């Protein structure tokens, strides 16, 4: 026969077992929830870290791109300065050679070709008086020759010569009464062909044909 004391002891064990079981289940559930939260937190932390890395990488890339852009601008500016340097260096040398050409015998042939060009231009204006502007040296050496050749053109009824320091060779023909100016100077030829001259120099630079 089971006494009351034994029943109470049995009941107490059952309660204790039940509590232990419940506690274990709660602990397991808590552990499970904890693991889930830890995982979630880790995932969020990893996502945040990735986002920070991406922003940092993007910022770094932007800085790199910005730095490269600045470098390209600097390099481009240096190239332009270098090209201009070579252009003016070349032109100084070229003008010295032109100065030698202007005092050579071949220069008279060049002047003759300019006179032919002028005569073709004058066909559009009929009879007119001309003022020929040229250097003092050319006036002394070639004025008579220019006068003789232009006098063959019946449209030139009067020819006057004036000196100028604005050109290095060739001449400028002016029709005063019609306010017309025809620049046949060497300087005008150089200016008209400036783009071609620069292109030729730059191509030579790129090919390594010019040295500093």
Q: In the prediction, which pLDDT does 91 show?
A: 80
Whether residue 180 lies inside any domain: the answer is: yes
pLDDT score of 6 more than 70:
no
On whether residue 161 sits in a domain, the answer given is yes
Q: Looking at residues 81-102, what average pLDDT do you find?
A: 82
**pLDDT score of 97:** 87
What CATH number should be reported for the domain holding residue 186? 3.30.2320.30
pTM of the model: 0.59
Residues in a beta bridge with 156: 128
- Flag whether 212 is in a domain: no
Domain that holds residue 149: 103-194
At 207 the pLDDT is 64
Stretch 15-44: mean pLDDT: 55
The tokens describing 67, both together, are 């730095």
Which pLDDT belongs to residue 173? 95
Residue 52: its pLDDT value, please?
64
Domain count across the chain? 1
Q: Say which residue the tokens 């015998």 belong to.
A: 105
Q: How much of the chain exceeds pLDDT 70, in percent? A: 63
Question: Quick check: is 146 in a domain?
Answer: yes
| pLDDT for res 23 | 44
Could you write out the DSSP letters of every residue in 44-73? HHHHHHHHHHHHHHHHHHHHHHHHHHHHHH
pLDDT of amino acid 7? 46
Q: Per-residue b/e over 63-92, b at no fewer than 16 CB within 10 Å?
A: eeeeeeeeeeeeeeeeeeeeeeebbeebbe
Kindly indicate the confidence band of residue 2, based on its pLDDT and cuts at 50, 70 and 90: very low
User: Is 127 inside a domain boundary?
Assistant: yes
119 lies in a domain? Answer: yes
pLDDT, greater one: 158 or 70:
158
Confidence band (pLDDT; 50, 70, 90) for 20? Answer: very low
d(CA 34, CA 80): 67
Q: What's the pLDDT score for residue 94?
A: 83
Mean pLDDT of 131-160: 91
Phi and psi angles of residue 34, each rounded to the nearest 5 degrees, phi first: -60, -45
Convert the pLDDT of each residue in 179-210 to its tens digit. 999 999 999 988 888 888 878 777 776 665 44
Is position 89 within any domain?
A: no
Residue 179 lies in a domain: yes
């Amino acid at each position: 026969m089971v006494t009351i004391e034994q029943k109470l002891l049995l009941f107490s064990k059952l309660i204790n077992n039940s509590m232990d079981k419940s506690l274990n289940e709660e602990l397991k559930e808590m552990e499970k929830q904890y693991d889930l939260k830890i995982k979630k937190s880790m995932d969020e932390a990893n996502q945040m870290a990735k986002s920070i890395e991406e922003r940092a990488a993007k910022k770094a890339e932007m800085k790199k791109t910005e730095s490269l852009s600045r470098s390209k601008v600097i390099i481009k500016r240096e190239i332009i300065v270098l090209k201009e340097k070579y252009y003016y260096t070349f032109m100084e040398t070229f003008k010295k050679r032109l100065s030698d050409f202007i005092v050579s015998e071949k220069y008279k042939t060049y002047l003759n070709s300019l006179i032919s060009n002028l005569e073709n231009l004058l066909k559009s204006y009929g009879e007119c008086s001309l003022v020929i502007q040229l250097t003092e040296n050319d006036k002394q050496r070639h004025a008579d020759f220019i006068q003789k050749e232009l006098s063959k053109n019946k449209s030139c009824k009067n020819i006057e010569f004036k000196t100028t320091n604005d050109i290095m060779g060739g001449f400028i023909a002016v029709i005063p009464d019609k306010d017309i100016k025809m620049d046949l100077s060497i300087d005008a030829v150089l200016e008209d062909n400036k783009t071609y001259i620069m292109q030729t120099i730059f191509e030579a630079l790129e090919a390594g044909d010019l040295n500093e």
